[in-house]
Amino acid sequence: MKHPIARTSNGTAVYVDLIHSQAAVLIGRQPRLLDLVKKIIAQTAADAPIVRIESNMGRAIGYNFVVKTSAVDTVLYAQLVRDVTYTRFVKNGKPITTKYLSLILRRDDRSDYELHELWLGRLRPARPGSDGETAASRTYWADHAFVLDSQPVQPRTITKVCPY
């Protein structure tokens, strides 16, 4: 289900798929974020196939669940339910208050943008092994991880050995 959100400052329509997109998960949990997304999009001129945006909202807006890790942290890897890419997790980590909201827009075949991803916190590279992996992915994720909370993981994929 495509839900229109806003138009960029240069007039391009932006929508979100409220059923299948990664952004839909966070919007479902925190629908108020959609108002912040609308403001960010309205201030952004977009013309690239993929647009990565990091916006400082000027006040605390929630918690960032991706934290820096150290050698003393207990780290594990697992695939989330309905995901083939391994995610790095840290046990006993604490999420950090953030004032940043990051989003990724992808141009569709009609030249509109879909809000593909949305998260609280600063921009970060895609996870290693994912479609969006970059040269910075492995370096970044070598010392950052998601705080292990209530994410639905595939139990048979849990490992302490780095899969990438």
Which contacts of 75-79 are long-range, i.e. CB under 8 A and separated by 24 or more positions?
75/145, 75/160, 76/148, 76/158, 76/159, 76/160, 77/157, 77/158, 77/159, 77/160, 77/161, 77/162, 77/163, 78/153, 78/154, 78/157, 78/158, 78/159, 79/153, 79/154, 79/157
Query: Six-digit token pair at 69?
Result: 């890790």
**pLDDT score at 77:** 98
Number of Cβ within a 10 Å radius of residue 153: 18
**Measuring CA to CA, how many Å separate 15 from each of 2, 8, 27, 102?**
6, 11, 13, 16
pLDDT value at position 57? Answer: 97
Mean pLDDT in each 10-residue stretch from start to end of the chain (164 residues)? 94 94 90 96 96 97 97 96 95 96 96 96 96 94 96 96 95
Q: Which neighbouring-strand residues pair with 95?
A: none
pLDDT at 1: 81
Find all residues with CB under 8 Å of 129, minimum gap 6, and list them. Answer: 85, 86, 163, 164
Say how many C-beta atoms besides its own lie within 10 A of residue 90's C-beta. 21
Q: What is the pLDDT of residue 131?
A: 87
The model carries a pTM of 0.91
